[in-house]
Amino acid sequence: MRFFCHIAILFTGILLCDAAVAQNTPDNPDFVKAYNFISKDNVDSALIFIDKAVADSAVRKNALAWYVRGFIYKEAFKKCKRLVKPTVGMSADMCRDLWSEPEQTVNNYHGNAAEQKWIYGQGSYLLLKDNVLVEYQAGENTAHYNVQHPYSYSDTALASLFRSLALDSSAENRKNCTPTINYIAAKYYSHASILMDSVHYPSAITFFNKYEAVMKKLNPSGSTDNYKVSFQMALGDVYSQLFFHSGNEGTRKIYFDSAKRAYNTVLSLNPDDVGANYSLAILYYNQAVYIINNMSYDVADLKNLNNAQDTEVVLMKKSLPYMEKTYQLDPRKRDAIEGLKGIYYLLHEYQKASEYDEKLKALNENKQ
């Protein structure tokens, strides 16, 4: 369609129009309207017409149409308010500090000017009323608030872009689609990082899994191992924190096993990761110390006392190789030397404990 030839648009290096693109433009008035609206940054109108366009059976076979739809939905996703870790009652100024893109303002309202769309977790929303966040459940009628989950936009964008690639796997189309796919995947990873704490970690897991799935689909032979190591290490630390502070035996075991699994995932990808070796050693060590501190010294309960002592020894022996590996990887790591001293002491290997005590003293002297 010749009127596309003189439209030149560059949105973050993604949406381009030239003679080659014009040749592939679907002959559909709704597509033309959608393209023209997005060229003017009118995302809401572009969304309406691009969805009308792809309802046409001929347009559904056109790779360019799906590429443009993916771009439009990505722009809609960008316009949504950024995901934060909000607390009900938090002011807009406080929330602004948590946004992944702090240059955004709190003035882009949806519906009533006193109410703002906000995403929270997996099933509820926060609305900004009188400059303060209040919780709003997703199950309630959202018509008045015009609430829509921002990730419905990103998921639709990805589905459209991958459909475009399925219709046209050429290097040129891949070059066009890949930056937008990478942008959304990066947002998933960013939000996984933002949500990595002892309260929101389930949502962090969800976002990281989405990130991995997108990257694997984009490049099946590629690797996300470096990102996975960082994520699983952080997740293990959260589980360790929850384990350490839990007073419920059943819950402690769940967190202990989860932390162990996360650290082992890191070690399966990088056996020489100092942090994972040390954290796993400390995890076993802390569980052993917890058992020691909660032993009953009642002679009448001698059987349980012996069982507890046996368990403590088993845990210390499990801690030992990881602490030794940490020391081998970083001989000047004070925590590793102190850990080995403590482990050998609790295993009643006092000479070994004394050796590491001397190493600790030597390290202190060298520091002076």
Residues in contact with 178: Cβ distance below 8 Å, sequence separation at least 6, in sequence order: 218
Share of the chain above pLDDT 70, in %: 69
Confidence of residue 200 (pLDDT cuts 50, 70, 90): confident
Confidence of residue 296 (pLDDT cuts 50, 70, 90): low
Nearest to 243 by CA among 227, 228, 259: 259
Residues 86-121: tens digit of each pLDDT: 444 444 444 444 443 333 333 332 333 333 343 333
Q: What is the pTM of this model?
A: 0.74
For 197-200, the CB contacts below 8 A with 24+ separation are 197/85, 197/238, 198/238, 198/241, 198/242, 199/85, 200/85, 200/121
Angstrom CA distances, 294 to 47, 298, 308, stand at: 61, 12, 9
d(CA 139, CA 161): 30
In this structure, is the dihedral angle defined by the CA atoms of residues 311, 315, 317 and 318, taken in order, positive or negative? positive
Structure tokens at 88: 């009900």
Most confident of 4-13, 24-33, 139-148, 277-286: 277-286
d(CA 263, CA 260): 5
Bridge partners, 129 (sequence order): 132
Angstrom CA distances, 302 to 249, 296, 297, 299, 312, stand at: 21, 9, 8, 5, 15
Residues 66-85: tens digit of each pLDDT: 999 999 999 988 876 443 44
More confident residue, 113 or 27: 27
SS3 of 129, please? Answer: strand
Average pLDDT, the chain: 77
Domain 211-367 indexed as CATH 1.10.101.10: no
Q: Is the pLDDT of residue 124 over 80?
A: no
Longest Cα–Cα distance in the chain:
94
More confident residue, 228 or 96: 228
Q: Is the pLDDT of residue 232 over 60?
A: yes
Q: What is the dihedral of CA 220, 226, 231, 233, to 10 degrees?
A: 140
Average pLDDT over residues 194-214: 89
Confidence of residue 363 (pLDDT cuts 50, 70, 90): confident
Beta strands in the chain (DSSP E): 119-120, 124-129, 132-137
| Per-residue model confidence (pLDDT) at position 150 | 60
Which amino acid does the sequence have at 313?
V
Confidence of residue 27 (pLDDT cuts 50, 70, 90): confident
